[in-house]
Chain A
């Protein structure tokens, strides 16, 4: 019987390809925002870069790009030791929007410059989420853009 075989197939995939155990936690971390009018970004790039550090040592920098219709957010982060990173970011199209980086401990905020650039120092490692709030909300533009959570 088809239904029986398909249900065994279903059980097979449930057993052999279970949902990652921390995914629910990541989701719950992402959805704590009170603002329901969200534009949701998708992670479109995540890659390590190699850069030379100040003293010629190589520091691992990671780049991530998050994409949505109204806004693209690109960030690069570099380790400042075992517990914190420095984040450099760019918003496109550029604008002096408020940028928040939520982490499990606290939320760091800054404002991008007119070119869309922003930077944050001493961002705690671990789970993070970027929220961009447009400085001048209007009926035609989206007020809040949010990324899924990711790990610094």
Chain B
């Protein structure tokens, strides 16, 4: 799965994306479908990292691709495409995230029930090392969990947007990232199951 910040793709991958882009621009649906398959997981994780529930995350992924149609002609490189997609999804995610904070929960909504969304389904984690990691992550303050999920997917995240999601000043993002990573390391170091693996 491509990372949003991978600036250089291996030659084969770069070639097929450039090719698919130009064929999608020429109206070939198969080419667009390949791009959708390739980049949708990345967009899903951006949306979820920014705190959206699953239904809203799906909506953001859909609307991002729909918006791409009007901008497709201006994109010619994998980095350009990934960058445009990620920026659009992130902006939309941030917008929805803010709206959710302002709204009162709608008890009759067909959306997922309002309640803590751990962001991950433990039943899907069979790898022991990952289970141990998850247990430590869950013990972090919520702000750290949010921040670390974002930086796990965006090595150089958009500072202003991250700050908005965390509710801290932009200058605090870097230091908070450092503190949260340190906290996580401490928790892992204290877990005998982690050191051995």
A:1-26 near B, CB below 8 Å: 2-3, 5-20, 23-24, 26
A120 at the interface (CB under 8 A from B): no
Q: Point out the residues of chain B lying under 8 angstroms from A33, CB to CB.
A: 69
A79 at the interface (CB under 8 A from B): no
| Beta-carbon contact of A17 and B120 below 8 Å | yes
| Beta-carbon contact of B120 and A27 below 8 Å | no
What is the total number of residues of chain A having a CB less than 8 Å from a CB of chain B?
43
User: Nearest B residue to A44 by beta-carbon distance?
Assistant: B99
Most B CB contacts (10 A, CB to CB) among A3, A20, A45 go to A20
B29 at the interface (CB under 8 A from A): yes
Partner of B58 from the list A20, A36, A41 (CB cut-off 8 Å) is A20
Q: Point out the residues of chain B lying under 8 angstroms from A62, CB to CB.
A: 110
CA distance A71 to B73 in the complex (A): 25
Q: Which 10 A-B pairs have CB atoms at the shortest separation, nearest pair first? A: A16-B120, A148-B62, A19-B44, A9-B152, A10-B152, A40-B66, A6-B152, A17-B120, A19-B41, A46-B110
B:65-86 near A, CB below 8 Å: 65-67, 69-70, 72
B108 at the interface (CB under 8 A from A): yes
A146 at the interface (CB under 8 A from B): yes
User: Nearest A residue to B43 by beta-carbon distance?
Assistant: A19
Majority DSSP secondary structure for residues of B touching A: helix
Interface size class of B (residues with CB under 8 A): 35 or more
User: Min CB distance, A111 to chain B, in Å?
Assistant: 23
A119 at the interface (CB under 8 A from B): no
| Beta-carbon contact of B185 and A5 below 8 Å | yes
CA distance A18 to B120 in the complex (A): 9
A11 and B130 in contact (CB under 8 A), knowing A17-B48, A47-B108, A47-B110?
yes
Q: Point out the residues of chain A lying under 8 angstroms from B134, CB to CB.
A: 12, 16
| Beta-carbon contact of B59 and A24 below 8 Å | no
